[in-house]
Amino acid sequence: MAQMTSTTLTVNGKRQTVTAHPDTPLLWVLREHLKITGTKYGCGVGQCGACTVHIDGKAAFSCLRPIASLANVHVTTIEGLSPTSEHPLQKAWIAEETPQCGYCQSGQIMRAAALLKDNPKPTREQIVAHMKTNICRCGSYRRIIAAIERAAKEG
Amino acid sequence: MATLNDKSLHHALPQNPQRRDLLKNAGGLALGFAFGPGLLFKVFDARACEDGLRANAWVHFRPDNSIGIMCPTAEMGQGIMTSLPLMLAEELDADWELVDVEQAPAAKDYINPGYFGVQGVGGSNSTRGYWTIMRLAGAQARKIMIANAAQYWKVPAGECTTAQGKVVHAESKRELSYGEIAVFSEVVNNPPLVTENELKPREQWRLIGRDVRRVDVPAKVNGSAQYGIDVQIPGMLFASLARSPIANTPHPLYGTGAENGPVSFDDTEAMKVQGVVKVVKLDHAVAVLGTDYWATVKAKRLLKVEWRKGELASKYDSEAKKTEWVALARDRSKTGRAVGNAGDFNAAFKQAAQTLSAEYLTDHVHHACMEPFNATAWVRGKEVDVWVPTQGQTWAQQVCAKITGVPAEEIRINTTFVGGGYGAKTEQLMTAEAVTLSKLMNKPVKVIWSREDDVKHGAYRPLTAQRMDAAMAADGKVMGWSHRLVADSVLVRARKVVWDQNPGLDGSVAVGMVQPYGVPNKHHEYVHQLGGVPVGYWNAVGNGFTIFAVESFMDEVAAKIKKDPLQLRIELMTDIRGKAVLEQLRKVSEWDRKRADGRALGVAYNHGGAWNCQIGEVVEVSLDRASGAIKVHKVWAVADPGTAIQPKHLRQQLETGIIWGMSAGLREQIVIKGGEVQHSNFYDYPVPRMDEMPEIEIHLVEGAHGQVSGAGQIGVAPMAPAIANAVFKLTGVRLRELPMLPVRVKTALNEQAVKTA
């Protein structure tokens, strides 16, 4: 697989055709081909969650999804979560001043958005069980929980 | 709320106007300042300067009343981009709502006089280093606003005052906003300079000490925040580097890494990958360059490289090193450098009615910043631009100067947001790689380290062996205390120029050995040993292991003389702030209340030394005896940071420290065999996740009225000894090695079972 191929998919509502090695992770297609850099590289092996996006509405590690397997899917990144950055989670993240270094927070918010979509009023335990896939090295976890609870309450 | 001027994070991108043009086009008044430690030398009209200097404004008044204030250091989550400009805004009497913060470029005008005299962030020095000068700058700027308004009104300046962004002449009921003044204002040559005694008394503070919104937060919730790894330069190449099997992280100012570098390579297969442009041998690594990042990753895997094995590094085995070094720690004939000694420990030991000894070991730990090392450089002759998430702009300039021959002050370091620093991003190898490759290829180059590169080629906290001895009188009074630390030095590798001025001593490693316990005869000694693997600044550096030994041993002494360990600390404490912290801690943790079965409390204290911030922590733990796993349920912390500039941010920093301290105490460990790091990624270097968070209760007290401190790292160190002390209370078993891995805990429990059987 040393030659590139083309794949067409929809990213944040926009059809995109990219030419890349077929095993290129979606993460790097987003970041370096499409220059949509809010989605972050942390580990490359599905361990940290910094690269979390939504693929056809489900939270996924974009570092583990080769582009060739994603023809015609719909991808949403942090940039596409809300056109005005006013998703209830984004508002709650600001209200709680959740980010510190902030590098993991795109992934955290995308992961949390998938939770609230399926379960608008999660319990504390459900939040923790769902979010523990995502690492925050600054340890902002308690404010992530507070922000999710706030968003669930305030909508 | 104040905002982030995010143009300042892109300011030198070629497709954007240069910063100086932004200033010029925006109009208004720009002021520059020259500082020494704690004093202002000069104020100048930054508009009137040559182009090169124009960029070095500190504050910019625009006609629309908005005010741009520079943040001299990098924002890596510590909130500095808010708290430093806020100090200036306070004295300026600015309307905080109209302030926008700009990331300062690398220039000597922005150096921190309190931090090696460089522009950089480390050692919890930013608040302390900039505290006075930022306020002096603000006060000076305010004075200039007043002088201009008074002249305009033709009234004495003494009759004018300021109120949130405007100058007021009460008598004639006139006022002018700073933006209005900026349009006609002038800076007289050599105006009288403001001194510290002219600064606002605390009662008049409107911003300092009151929580404001962090300016960097909005960009961090919608993907727009620019970290180093996000930089995009049209036409840039990507680089992935194949690195030595041996941990090989040279500091580019002092080493090349050639001793563990490539001998030869075969790139036949690598070059077949579409998108690969070139494979290049560097001293320490082999770089694959390409037009497509993933192509370089794939090709790197196909490279065949033969590596050198450095004499020292290839013999480094971390388990064996602990055994070797603890023997040195025990052997008093192996002398090192004494730190803060008092009385005569040897005499006290000879006269002692009872003595106690213990030895402590700590493994290497790694930063594992969420953003791995990366840098982008564009070298075109004498023009050198570098975009790097760095804690050290000045050092980055020096590294680039060494490689390109361009004078350091002409190197443009474009500071981005830093996705976690913790000391790691004082390192400059990534900067050197990007600049070297860009110079070679004559194109912009972005170097991205993989997570595996980051884990295997870090700058780890030094591994240590420590020997503690105490001498007690018959009544239990502690008469002598000795602490011998054996470890490698960070300075010898990363600040060789500082080490050479005073060889044998490394303050960042020995920090924390001297604590304000009233023992008449005290001996502290640091014995340096060169390990051969890269050691660097980690969160709190030496504090993490020295406090582990000091505070564990204090508990051991308390057990020996049958005293409550917190009570003993309070009795021995000579520092009035420390005593208040410990007494408050006793109260808030309900130290004297009996806990449920299977739970116990442990305590530890950290004076903080030059940080001027003190802390005490109590933890409540339980232990799963079957697995050996320790669980921390709750943490109470009492900190005395002096004046908290932004209390909420300060609590965040303390919380981060507590979590790092817990993690380093319980599980973080880098094992090195034959110089090779035995870990690769988060699956074998696990860091805390959400389900492991204890409850954390933080209390702030202010024992040092009007003083500020560096509180970024203070929370780390007490956690490990507090946990060990709690486990001792719970089980009678003393854990003397970090991390307190379940397997080590089980071994210790089994040894106790054998002893008591």
Three-state secondary-structure class, residue B60: strand
- Which chain A residue has its CA at the smallest distance from B218's CA? A94
Q: Is residue B8 part of a domain?
A: yes
In chain A, list all ranges with CATH 3.10.20.30.
Answer: 5-80
The separation between CA B562 and the C-alpha centre of its own chain, rounded to angstroms, equals 39
User: Which H/E stretch holds residue B92?
Assistant: helix B80-92
Q: Tell me: do B431 and B342 sit in the same domain.
A: no
Q: Tell me: do B416 and B470 sit in the same domain.
A: no
Q: Tell me: do B277 and B418 sit in the same domain.
A: yes
Task: Find out whether B46 and B31 touch, Cβ atoms under 8 Å.
Answer: yes
Q: Is residue B224 part of a domain?
A: no
Segment B598-633, tens digit of pLDDT: 999 999 999 999 999 999 999 999 999 999 999 999
Query: What is the percent of chain B where pLDDT is above 90?
Result: 88
* Whole-angstrom distance, CA of residue B362 vs CA of residue B675: 17
Task: Find out whether B586 and B605 touch, Cβ atoms under 8 Å.
Answer: no
* Cβ within 8 Å, pair A94-B218: yes
Using CB atoms, which residue from B221, B232, B682 is nearest to A105?
A: B221
* Whole-angstrom distance, CA of residue A121 vs CA of residue A43: 31
CATH number, domain at B646?
3.30.365.10
**Interface with chain B: mutation pick from A137, A149, A150, highest number of B CBs within 10 Å:** A137
How far away is chain A from the Cα of B530, in angstroms, using its nearest Cα? 30
Segment B287-332, tens digit of pLDDT: 999 999 999 999 999 999 999 999 999 999 999 999 999 999 999 9
In chain A, list all ranges with CATH 1.10.150.120.
Answer: 88-154
* Whole-angstrom distance, CA of residue B108 vs CA of residue B7: 21
Q: Tell me: do B326 and B360 sit in the same domain.
A: yes
* Cβ within 8 Å, pair B693-A142: yes
How far away is chain A from the Cα of B295, in angstroms, using its nearest Cα? 7
Q: Tell me: do B291 and B389 sit in the same domain.
A: yes
* Whole-angstrom distance, CA of residue B85 vs CA of residue B37: 18
* Cβ within 8 Å, pair A2-B272: yes
Segment B734-753, tens digit of pLDDT: 999 999 999 999 999 999 88
Q: Final residue of a domain: which of B218, B249, B267?
A: B218
Total domains present in chain B = 3
Q: Tell me: do B88 and B150 sit in the same domain.
A: yes
Which residues, 6+ apart, have CB-to-CB distance to B551 below 8 Å? B604, B605, B606, B718, B721, B722, B725
Q: What residues of B are in contact with residue A78 (Cβ under 8 Å)?
A: 221-223
* Cβ within 8 Å, pair B77-A50: no
Q: Tell me: do B10 and B70 sit in the same domain.
A: yes
Q: Which of B7-21, B150-164, B423-437, B581-595 has the lowest mean pLDDT?
A: B7-21
Q: Tell me: do B600 and B669 sit in the same domain.
A: yes
Q: Is residue B454 part of a domain?
A: no
What are the 10-residue block averages of pLDDT along chain A, 155 residues in total? 90 98 98 98 98 98 98 98 97 98 98 98 98 98 98 93
Segment B122-138, tens digit of pLDDT: 889 999 999 999 999 99
Does any CB of chain A come closer than 8 Å to the CB of residue B224? yes
Q: Is residue B501 part of a domain?
A: yes
Which is nearest to B450 in space by CA: B372, B560, B397? B372
CATH number of A5-80: 3.10.20.30
Q: Final residue of a domain: which of B419, B448, B477?
A: B448
In terms of Cβ atoms closer than 10 Å to its own Cβ (0-12, 13-18, 19+), residue B191 is middle
Q: Final residue of a domain: which of B218, B247, B276?
A: B218
Q: What residues of A are in contact with residue B221 (Cβ under 8 Å)?
A: 78, 85, 90, 93-94, 98-99, 105, 109
With a cut of 90, say whether residue B54 has pLDDT above it: no
**Interface with chain A: mutation pick from B9, B75, B679, B690, highest number of A CBs within 10 Å:** B690
**Angle, CA B360 vertex, CA B330 and CA B621 arms, to 5°:** 160
* Cβ within 8 Å, pair B232-A93: no
Q: What residues of A are in contact with residue B659 (Cβ under 8 Å)?
A: 139
Segment B149-201, tens digit of pLDDT: 999 999 999 999 999 999 999 999 999 999 999 999 988 877 889 999 999 99
Taking all residues of chain B, what is their mean pLDDT, rounded to a whole number? 94
- Average pLDDT on B551-576 reads 98
Q: What residues of B are in contact with residue A48 (Cβ under 8 Å)?
A: 370, 682
pLDDT at B2: 83
Q: Tell me: do B307 and B345 sit in the same domain.
A: no
Does any CB of chain A come closer than 8 Å to the CB of residue B368? yes
With a cut of 70, say whether residue B18 has pLDDT above it: no
- Which chain A residue has its CA at the smallest distance from B683's CA? A47
* Cβ within 8 Å, pair A101-B418: yes
| Residue-number span of the structural domain to which B211 is assigned | 3-218
* Whole-angstrom distance, CA of residue A141 vs CA of residue A47: 16
Q: 């009343």: which residue's tokens?
A: B65
Q: Which CATH class is domain A88-154?
A: mainly alpha
- Residue B721, beta-bridge partner list: none
State the complex-level ipTM.
Answer: 0.98
pLDDT at B679: 98
Using CB atoms, which residue from A2, A97, A139 is nearest to B217?
A: A97
Q: Tell me: do B569 and B603 sit in the same domain.
A: yes
User: Which H/E stretch holds residue B262?
Assistant: strand B262-266
Q: What residues of A are in contact with residue B77 (Cβ under 8 Å)?
A: 99-102, 138
Using CB atoms, which residue from B230, B648, B658 is nearest to A37?
A: B230
Which is nearest to B235 in space by CA: B444, B480, B534? B444
